[in-house]
Chain A
Amino acid sequence: MAKDVKERPFTTVSGVPIDRLYTADSITDFDYEHDLADPGDAPYTRGIYSTMYRSRPWTMRQFSGFGTAEDTNARFKYLLKNGQTGLSVAFHLPTLMGLDSDHPMSEGEVGKCGVAIDSLADMETLFDGIPLDKISTSMTTNAPAMMIWAMYLVVAEKEGVTWDKLRGTIQNDILKEYIAQKTFIYPPRPSMKLIVDTFEFGTKHVPQWNTISISGYHIREAGSTALQELAFTLYDGIEYVEWAIRAGLDVDDFAPRLSFFFNAHNDLFEEVAKYRAARKIWYKVMTERFHCKNPKSAILRFHTQTAGCSLTAQQPYNNIVRVAIQALAAVLGGTQSLHTNSLDETLALPTEQSSRIALRTQQIIANESGVTNTVDPLGGSYFVERLTLDMEKGCWEYFERLDAMGGMVSAIEKSFPQREIQDAAYDYQKAIERKEKIIVGVNDYVMEEESAIDILLIDESVTQRQFDKLNHVRTTRDNDRVNSVREELRKAAKRADGNLMPFVLDCVRAYTTLGEMCDDLRSVYGTYEEPAF
Chain B
Amino acid sequence: METKIRVLVAKPGLDGHDRGAKVIARAFRDAGFEVIYTGLRQTPEQVVHAALQEDVDVVGLSVLSGAHMTLCPRIMDLMKKEGLNDVMVLVGGIIPDLDVAKLKNQGVSEIFQPGASTEDIVAYVRQNIRKK
A residues in contact (CB < 8 Å) with B: 93-94, 96-97, 99, 104-109, 112-113, 177, 181-183, 221-223, 309, 312-314, 346-349, 422, 425-426, 429-430, 432-433, 439, 441-443, 452, 455, 458, 529-530, 532
Contact = CB atoms under 8 A, between A and B. Distances in A.
Interface string B44-73: 000000000000000000000111111100
B9 to A, nearest CB: 12
A57 B70 CA distance: 43
Contacts of B40: 182, 530
Contacts of A430: 118
B66 A109 contact: yes
A109 B65 contact: yes
A430 B43 CA distance: 31
15 contacts: A93-B14, A94-B14, A96-B14, A108-B13, A108-B71, A109-B14, A182-B40, A183-B16, A313-B113, A313-B115, A346-B94, A426-B27, A439-B115, A443-B117, A458-B66
Contact of A312 (B26, B37, B69, B115): B115
Nearest to A314: B115
B23 A108 contact: no
Contacts of A177: 16
Given A108-B69, A113-B66, A221-B19, A347 B115 contact: no
Interface in B109-132: 113-115, 117-119
A515 to B, nearest CB: 13
- The 3 A-B pairs with the shortest beta carbon distances in the complex, nearest first, are A108-B70, A182-B16, A108-B67
Given A108-B69, A314-B115, A530 B43 contact: no
Nearest to A429: B23
**Interface SS majority for chain B:** loop
B67 A109 contact: yes
Contacts of B17: 181-182, 221-222
Nearest to A441: B115
Contacts of A94: 14
B34 interface: no
Interface of B: 13-19, 22-23, 26-27, 37, 39-41, 43, 65-71, 94, 96-97, 113-115, 117-119
Contact of B41 (A105, A313, A314, A429): A105
A269 B114 CA distance: 26
Contacts of A221: 17, 19
B114 to A, nearest CB: 4
Nearest to B41: A105
Given A221-B19, A347-B94, A112 B41 contact: no
A442 B15 CA distance: 25
B22 A425 contact: yes
A426 B24 CA distance: 9
A422 B70 contact: no
A203 to B, nearest CB: 31
Contacts of A530: 39-40
Contacts of B19: 221-223, 309, 425
B66 A112 contact: yes
A350 B50 CA distance: 35
A31 B53 CA distance: 63
B114 A93 contact: no
Given A109-B70, A181-B17, A348-B94, 13 more contacts: A93-B14, A104-B43, A106-B14, A107-B70, A108-B67, A109-B66, A113-B66, A181-B16, A312-B115, A425-B22, A426-B23, A426-B27, A529-B39
Contact of B117 (A223, A312, A432, A441): A432
Contacts of B96: 347-348, 455
Given A109-B14, A182-B18, A422-B22, A348 B66 contact: yes
A458 B94 CA distance: 14
Nearest to B69: A108
Contacts of B37: 532
Contacts of A432: 117
A96 B41 CA distance: 13
A312 B67 contact: no
B111 to A, nearest CB: 12
Nearest to A97: B14
Nearest to A433: B117
A106 B115 CA distance: 28
A360 B57 CA distance: 49
Contacts of B114: 312-313, 346
A109 B23 contact: no
Contacts of B27: 426, 429
A93 B97 contact: no
